[in-house]
A and B are shown apart, each in its own frame.
Chain A
Amino acid sequence: MDPMRFMHTEIPQIRNAVRRARRVLRDEHNRLERDMAARIPDPAASIALHLLRNVRVLAGGLGGILSDVAHKAFPEDEERPAQGLRPMPDGPLRRQARDASLMCMIADRIGVDAHSPRLSAARQTLDVLDEATGQPCLSAEEAATYFIRLTAGSEDPQLRLSVFATLLLLVHEPSGMVPREVMAKRSADLSRVLKDEILSSRALGDERGIARILKKYAAHV
């Protein structure tokens, strides 16, 4: 056996450990950036933030290298995503994890039950995208394609707005200083204001129009 390849039974644990490490690094970096801006007076804060942003760029590069290594280590992973994995048992922890997802926070703000079956498929897809390495993880065009597909099964305007608002955040370049909960709220609020534009473009199946709205407003969340 290739020593670089891991047993399939080990893959989930290793991947979870890497994911946890990445999140800790990202959260700590964000916290540091927030604290600097709040506590250090200008012009020292500007210089410190500039240096910290350079660290973020370096970390991004390192993330790319790690991704390459992961692809080499887990070559068959994409083809057998669920093998050897037991679903998380239903219970308070699972519910807690679901409630913390971007889609759930947004759906809650818009007034949709995020746990309803009609939102289930969209939520699962968007949760996976939200977990993806590096943000923004979607271009406006990709997000528009997802929007059309994920809302094909329902004409419920609130459901469509929830999906749109989630995608808007996945196109958005995060500042690192603002908690996800706040961004989720603002994305939902923005989408509600843009309701007419979004829903009329969706009704026409106008993917380019949707991409235009996403591109235009992603920077304004």
Chain B
Amino acid sequence: MFDLNALAASLPPSNKPLRVSVRQLHWFCAAFEATARHCGERMGCTFTVDEEKIAGIFVRWLKSIEVQKPGARAEREDFFDFVPSLVLRELIGDLPLKATSAPTRVADNPPASFWPEGYVCTMFCLAVHAKAMDEEFHTRREIDRMVDDLRSWYSFRENAAEDTSFAAGFFQKLLGHDPNWTMPANFSARNRAAP
């Protein structure tokens, strides 16, 4: 996968903490476009971004945060860790970008070649997650090696086409968690063992 530090560095500057700026549409949109540009340069293609779709995704994400936000302060870090998976669910459900040509520099990156749009959406969530966790908790998660495994991406794309919540589970898996596959987009159910 792409260098996570470089991805996080490509996010636009802000005079606010990232936890605030990411909940502002102007920054969210600029950050997504910056990630698409950054990934496009590395993949050898360009992406067009649909700003109207981004706005819809953003509002649905805000609403899901509002519904799921835990009251207990002890769960704050876990929630920060979880929230980008809700963004990915919305992004995958309404893909707001399109590659205008086939990527030309992805020979060493089969997942990016297989599904350029899904790959960029996932990289965006990983970059925002990494930067937010660093800012708020000075922690950094290792990304699971499955990120470079084409079979994982094949399964991701197939399953997310049937149920977009699968994207949330895929993201948690990338962070090394064991998601609750029955309700992968439900924060309070994240630790419940699947039947």
Binding site for A on B (CB under 8 A): 13-16, 23-26, 29-30, 51-52, 54-56, 58-59, 62
Q: Interface size on A (CB < 8 Å)?
A: 23
A194 adjacent to chain B (CB < 8 Å): yes
| Residue among B15, B25, B54 making CB contact with A49, cutoff 8 Å | B15
* Leading 6 A-B pairs by shortest Cβ distance: A37-B13, A189-B55, A186-B26, A186-B25, A193-B59, A193-B55
Closest B residue to A194 by beta carbon equals B59
Alpha-carbon gap, A53 to B16, bound state (A): 11
What DSSP secondary structure best describes chain B's contact surface? Answer: helix
- B30: which A residues are within 8 A, CB to CB? 182
Stretch with Cβ within 8 A of B (4 or more), from A9-17, A146-154, A171-179, A203-211:
A171-179
Query: Given contacts A194-B59, A220-B62, are A189 and B25 in contact (CB under 8 A)?
Result: yes
Q: Which residues of A contact B16 (CB under 8 A)?
A: 175
Min CB distance, B49 to chain A, in Å? 12
Residues of A within 8 A of B52 (CB): 189, 192
Sampled A-B contacts (21; CB under 8 Å)? A33-B15, A37-B13, A37-B14, A175-B24, A176-B15, A182-B30, A186-B29, A189-B25, A189-B29, A189-B51, A189-B52, A189-B55, A190-B58, A192-B52, A193-B58, A219-B23, A220-B24, A220-B25, A220-B58, A220-B62, A221-B26
Known pairs A175-B15, A185-B51; list 6 more (Cβ under 8 Å).
Answer: A38-B13, A183-B26, A189-B29, A189-B54, A189-B55, A193-B55
Residues of A within 8 A of B26 (CB): 178, 182-183, 186, 221
Give chain A interface residues in 154-207, CB to chain B under 8 Å. Answer: 175-178, 182-183, 185-186, 189-190, 192-194
B128 to chain A, nearest CB (A): 16
* Smallest CB gap from A35: residue in B: B13
The smallest C-beta distance from B63 to any residue of chain A, in angstroms, reads: 10
Q: How far is the CB of A38 from the nearest CB of chain B, in Å?
A: 5
- With the chains together, A219 CA to B62 CA distance in Å? 12
> A190, B55: Cβ atoms under 8 Å?
yes
A33–B13 CA distance with the chains assembled, in angstroms: 11
Chain B residues within an 8 Å CB radius of A175: 14-16, 24
Specify which chain B residues have a CB less than 8 angstroms from the CB of A221 in the assembled complex.
Answer: 24-26
Residues of A within 8 A of B25 (CB): 186, 189-190, 220-221
CA distance A6 to B54 in the complex (A): 52
Minimum CB distance partner of B24 in chain A:
A220
A206→B104 CA distance, assembly (Å): 54
Chain B residues within an 8 Å CB radius of A183: 26
Determine the distance from Cα of A177 to Cα of B56 in the docked complex, in whole angstroms: 24
Closest CB-CB distance, B28 to chain A, in whole Å?
9
In contact, A177 and B14 (Cβ under 8 angstroms):
yes
Q: Which of A53, A183, A193, A219 has its CB near the most chain B CB atoms (within 10 A)?
A: A193
